Structure 1
């Protein structure tokens, strides 16, 4: 492992390393996604991507049953991301709608 880096082994036996020079911000965390531009691969039943970043926990976006569905948000600025919170929908006793989730953070 290179000096000053943190490395993690992935499922496919690849190793990802990042610089360990991150500093914990002194300011309070902020929810930066509301109202930002977002999109998704497909739309099911008018559940547009923006519903996922409207700040409400009782609305949601929904894709069709795509092979590789995705959703994205452009935060419009560079932020020190310390936490990403995803709330899975729970309806009619079925809470496994969102699964096998990959999250990627970085410039588009």
Structure 2
């Protein structure tokens, strides 16, 4: 499917919106890394908050101090979560399994 042709104004608006989303996601990950927010809190808000919902679960977990790529991959496999899954797409059991594994 071909991409729609955008006017310069539409393109500038889309670029600004994307930059804002990246900034919000970066702030979210920084707050997790600093310990201001917990994974349980963040996953609980995933359905309501667009920024959290569109962030990949693996990226959220990698922001937790002490969790690297290998531990995150093991956690996701243990909970039965696809590495490309976004936070809003998690089921209740998957969310509970992650929170229990981290708690």
Q: TM-score scaled to structure 2, two decimals?
A: 0.29
Greater C-alpha Rg: 1
Structure with higher strand content: 1
Using CA pairs under 8 Å that are at least 6 residues apart, name the structure with larger relative contact order, 1 or 2.
2
Structure with higher helix content: 2
Q: TM-score scaled to structure 1, two decimals?
A: 0.28
